[in-house]
Every structure is written in structure tokens, then in C-alpha cells.
Structure 1
Amino acid sequence: MKNIVQRISVMQKQINFSGSIYVKQKESVIAELSYGYANRSEKIKNQPNTRFGIASGCKIFTSIAIAQLVERGVLSFTDKLTECLDIPFPKYDKDITIHHLLTHTSGVPDYFDEEVMDDFEQLWVTRPMYHIRQLRDFLPLFQNEAMKSLPGERFHYNNTGYILLGLVVEQASGLPFSDYVKSYIFDRANMKDSGYFEMDALPERTALGYIDAKDGSWRTNVYSLPAKGGPDGGAYTTAADMVQLWDSLTRYQLLSQELTDLMLHPHIEAGDDTYYGYGVWIGTYAQDKRKFVLMGYDPGVNFRAAFYPDLSLKIVVCSNRSDGAYDIISEIENELT
């Protein structure tokens, strides 16, 4: 344990990492560390129980919610979008299925298309972020846009697809998406510090996200993200809670073994020897042993988690800056795998 903590400390100083790190192997916590400030103005330090935004790292919550509804017989992965959502999308292909949406192969237009834009803040110039508090608030960003490709034609990472999945969860369950996730995922997994919080009403122990400029100045990300996150990203959680999620999922407390295995199956190749399951990236290490990865990137938010079944190893890194999580988790991986 001493060596890994030393390596993390060296890397933290090199990149000025701000956030929390949690490493657990089998039943032993190898490292639980926090650096930097949750609130720079008030000099409030990050702590192990600080809540962080995790951006797209929470797509796994959406895929679990869909799989639960499949398990209950309310939905099927082969259901077409038109069969399970009473919202018109005049230019969408009629053959889009739940499976297509989960695997980023639906071809629907992405409201934040990383192939054509790289600044998430551009989205809110004409549609202020403080109006985005419910899933239907996202609709004007993509509802009447044309398809990008045919369903099943190719992998194209897609936030719109997960907004659509969240709308399906709401219609199928009769609950607001965030309420569904709290009741059927966070509460069941004993994730007591996790939630979809509004950025202008954050609870205690929640880190503000910081955007750093080259001249040394900084600002928070309050004007950079939707006021409330949704099924494509934006939940807040702690590093320990995300380990708790993985433990609950792999102990079949959230889904049956059959549905869990299907979620974690490499459904589509995403490039560079990487695959995508349902809401989770799947890669390899040490001569093709499988690892599962969650990641999230937003202005002032950087998140990375990796789970190694063969080693019974879980690593979670939450940052309230725009970078750093990958560097930290890579250093830990190099030491322990």
C-alpha cells in the first residue's frame, strides 16, 4: 500500500490533481485519498465523502434502469423506439431499437456531436443551461434533426441516445428519471451520497467544478452544464459509492446474473481494441484479461473508474477539474496490474 500511495502522491504533484481516489482489492481498501479544494474561494478541502460530478460516467445508471425494466417484462431490448416513446421524431428511422440506443449505434443526431464540435459550452449560447432541468428540456436540441447514419451501421458515441433512453424509463415506469434511479439503483446499492442535484441547489459536501485558464485564472462550471443532469450524464456521487455500485451490480443485487452478463457483454467494437457493452466500456490488460471502464468528461469534471474481475480490483478517480483522472488511474494501474 505504501508504494502505491507514494506513486499517487508524486503524480498528484506533477499534474496538480484535485479530487478523490478510492482503490479496493477484494475486501481491503488499498488507498482512499483526497487532494485539492471542493471550494477554492472558501478553502474547503476535498474529502473522501465529497460528492463529485461524474459526467458520462453515469450512463451505466441508465443502462441498469433499462435492464431492470426488461427484467420486469415492461420493455425488451428489441423494442423499437416508436413502440415505447410517445414523442414524435419526424426525421428518425422507424427501426431504431433500445439495443441500438444502448450501444451508440442508433444513428440519431447527437446534441453534442464530438465529431463536429469540442466545446460543450457552445450549446448554451442560444439555449441557456439554467432552463435544462427536465429531460424534455433537451428535446429542442435534437427532436427535429436528421439522422446521422442508419441504425446498426456504426458505433458513434451519442448523448442523445441516452436522453431518449431516459425518456423511455420515465414513460415505462411513470417516474421522473432521477427519482427512478434513486429508488431502484442508488437506494438498493446503498449509495447514500449519490443523486441528480441541481447545480444552483447543491447539497453539502459537493465539490464545485473548476475550469482553469492558461494564465492561472479560474472559474466554476455553473454556466457550462445543464442545471440538472440526466441519463446521459451529470449525476453526483462519491468515489466509494461508485465502488458500492459495482459491488452491488456484480453480486446481482440490481439485476439477475443473466441481465448483468448481458450488460457487460462486448456488444460493439468502439475502436482501438475497445468494446462497448450497455453503458460501459470494455478493454483489456495483461495479455487480454478483461477490464470494465466508466469515464466522464465535462468542463470542470473528470471521472474515471476501472474494474478488473480477475484481480478483484476496483479503482475510482473523481476530479473537480477538467483533467487528471486518466493520469492518476493509469499510474495506479501500472502499479497493480
Structure 2
Amino acid sequence: MQTRLLEKIKNVQNENEFSGSVLVANEMEQIIELSFGYANRSEQLKNHYATRFGIASGCKIFTAVGICQLVEKGKLSFSTRLDECLDVNFPHFDQRITIHHLLTHTAGIPDYFDEEEMEDFEELWIENPMYKIRSLRDFLPLFQNKPMKLKVGERFHYNNAGYILLGLIIEQISGQTFSDYIQTNIFSQVEMMESGYFEFDALPYNTSFGYIDFPDGTWKTNIYSLPAKGGSDGGAYVTVNDMGKFWHALVNGHIIRKEMLEQMLTPHAQVDEEEEDHYGYGVWVEKKGKEVHKYHVMGYDPGVSFHSAFYPRDGTTVVVCSNKSEGAYGVMKGIEQIISEEWNK
């Protein structure tokens, strides 16, 4: 399997000039770890196993775990209403919105970046300078006074603003900043020593720049395309090995108890009636028939593409981090093809 994976990943990389790092592991036993391209093109610094990558929305799973930890401690419940646990005024929001609705993208609230209506994330920062977005409360003016988009619980509607609210709830209940809470209660607990929420103008060593490529062969970094510091909806940096540690700790009950894990991984919301994708708490759940095929997370931003999954059938973990706007999906698809062929032997 290892040889076939190596060949497949390298073929995909040659086809799309993938830039980033890839990890395939089974129960913390590394099967494949590869890196391609440059973390810093100007200085010709290569990506490697310890390179930190932005993972965009892939970090919603950290926010969900943080909420689950607070529920375990009795600080709130999944049925707690938004207006009961967050001291922020939302004049047009339905008072029936709960933690469960926010976690499952079924709250119906407006989004600050609505993927059903907007295509270019960079458009946000024309009127709202990205360098001013450094805390979760800085996101509030982007959606706080807008009307509801849907009725509460009406349907799944992927929503970044909902996860900003969950981060604010973590801050209010814990008394810590969101990034400090995640650092203390998840990253440090799991020994994800290289991971964190960093500001664009204060990035630590071994952190990749995100690159946006144009058809004529030119490129730019994404430093003016994203908030100066990402939030609870998408702002973490990880290494592939750290992300592998996270999956291992999560599914083995090391950061939340098994009973809570079952609640988190339950397919609470069906994404599309014709598809097999569902959503749990901060994680996508793909089913094939009645069986869960994989639990996965993904993230896309200008200069960022990320896919990671855990396959319960045999305990395989896959992490694909890229510092280009595209590429992670193709590598992930190639890896899954080999995994599927191995299963069907």
C-alpha cells in the first residue's frame, strides 16, 4: 500500500503542482509523510514535515470540541439558547436559536461571508479592512444587525458567523480568549506543539505563506486576503503531524469522553437529500448506506486548501495541507482511491 500511495500522490502532484504536506497514518503509525513546493517562494524555503499551514474552516472541529468540553463540565448544554449564554445584542435574531443549531449550521442566522451568495472572500475586506480583524468581536459588525436568513432549524446552511458566536460563547464562559482556550484545552493536551492561532504580521518560524496563482503564471501571497487573525470559524495553523495527533486523541476519548464523542459525531443535519454527506458538530459525516465511511473536515480560503479525514473501518487518518488555493482535494481523492482499492481486495 505504501508504494502505491507514494506513486499516486506523486502523480497527482505532477498534474496540479501541489504545494504542501501530506500524512497518511494508522493508529499513529506513519504510512506516508511527504512534502512538496515552497513555504516561502521568494526565499525558496521548502515545505517539510514541520511546516505550519493555515487550514481555514478545517478548524471548526476545534471550536466544536471546545463547546463539548464546556457541556461536559456542566457550563451549558446543547439546548442552551444563544441569548442565555452570550451577552451580545442581536436585534433581529430568533430567540429560539440554541447551541445545537449553531453547531449544525441550522440556526438560520445571516453569515458575514455567505457561500451561497458570494464567491470571492477578498470582497469582504474592501469596506472592512482586514488588518482591523484581530478578535472575535471584530467580526460582529459584519452580521450582528442583519435579518435572519432562514427559519431556525429549517435546513442546513453552512455558516461561518455561527462559529464566531460559538467562539464568543467559549470566551464568555471560560474567561479566556478563544485562542488561549483552544491552546490550553486542546493543543497542549494533545501535544500539538506547533499549532496555534497566529496573526499575519507576527507569524512564527516554519509557517507557510499562502499563495494565490493567476492564469498568466504570476502570483501573490494571501496576506491582504484574510483577517489579520482568524477566528473560531477558521484561523488555526497546524502541521500534518499535529493534525494526526488530534484525530488520534479525539477518537480515543482523550479530549472529550466517548459518550460526548458519539454526540459530536452523530449525523445531525443532512446536507443534501441526494448526497451521503451529513454534518455533526464541527465535522462532516459521510455515510455509505447505513455505515459511516469517514469523518472529515476541510477548509478553503484564498491561498489555503485543506482536507483531513478519519476512516473508522480501519483507523486510517489522512491529512492534506496546502498553501495554494487549490490542490488538497485532488491529493485526497487520489489517496482515497488507493485506500478503497485496498479495502476491496
What TM-score do the two structures reach when normalised by structure 1? 0.98
CA distance in 1, matches of 2:292, 2:247: 18
Does the 8 Å contact 2:28/2:245 carry over to 1? no
Q: Describe the shift of the 1:286–1:332 C-alpha distance in structure 2 as closer, same or farther (beyond 3 A).
A: farther
Which 10-residue stretch deviates more, 207-216 or 25-34?
A: 25-34
CA distance in 2, matches of 1:176, 1:4: 41
Shift of 1:289: 4.3
Shift of 1:27: 4.2
Q: 1:270 corresponds to which residue?
A: 271
Q: Describe the shift of the 1:143–1:295 C-alpha distance in structure 2 as closer, same or farther (beyond 3 A).
A: same
Q: 2:238 corresponds to which residue?
A: 237
Aligned ranges 1:146-225 → 2 under 5 Å: 146-225=147-226
Establish whether residue 105 from structure 1 lines up as the match of residue 87 from structure 2: no
CA distance in 2, matches of 1:169, 1:324: 33
Shift of 1:288: 4.3
Deviation string 1:211-236 (CA, Å, 9 cap, x unpaired) is: 00010000000000000011100110
Establish whether residue 58 from structure 1 lines up as the match of residue 82 from structure 2: no
Does the 8 Å contact 1:285/1:291 carry over to 2? no
Q: 2:229 corresponds to which residue?
A: 228
Structure 2 gaps, min length 5: 341-345
Does the 8 Å contact 1:4/1:332 carry over to 2? yes
Q: Secondary structure at the match of 1:311?
A: coil
Task: Kindly report structure 1 stretches of 4+ aligned residues shifted beyond 6 Å.
Answer: none
Does the 8 Å contact 2:28/2:248 carry over to 1? no
Shift of 1:150: 1.0
Aligned ranges 1:1-337 → 2 under 5 Å: 1-271=2-272, 272-284=275-287, 288-337=291-340
Shift of 1:290: 2.3
Shift of 1:284: 3.2
Q: Describe the shift of the 1:195–1:27 C-alpha distance in structure 2 as closer, same or farther (beyond 3 A).
A: closer
Shift of 1:85: 0.4
CA distance in 2, matches of 1:252, 1:91: 39
Does the 8 Å contact 1:36/1:46 carry over to 2? yes
Q: 2:343 corresponds to which residue?
A: none
Does the 8 Å contact 2:28/2:244 carry over to 1? no
Shift of 1:63: 0.3
Shift of 1:60: 0.3
Alignment-mate amino acid for residue 228 of structure 1:
K
Which 10-residue stretch deviates more, 286-295 or 41-50?
A: 286-295
Shift of 1:2: 1.4
Deviation string 1:171-213 (CA, Å, 9 cap, x unpaired) is: 0100000000000000001100000000111000000000000
RMSD: 1.0
- Identical counterparts, % of pairs: 56
Q: Secondary structure at the match of 2:189?
A: coil
CA distance in 2, matches of 1:289, 1:123: 36
Which 10-residue stretch deviates more, 14-23 or 305-314?
A: 305-314
Corresponding residue pairs, total = 337
CA distance in 2, matches of 1:26, 1:305: 15
Q: Secondary structure at the match of 1:275?
A: strand
Shift of 1:285: 5.3
Shift of 1:312: 1.1
Q: Secondary structure at the match of 1:302?
A: strand
Q: Secondary structure at the match of 1:50?
A: coil
Shift of 1:49: 0.6
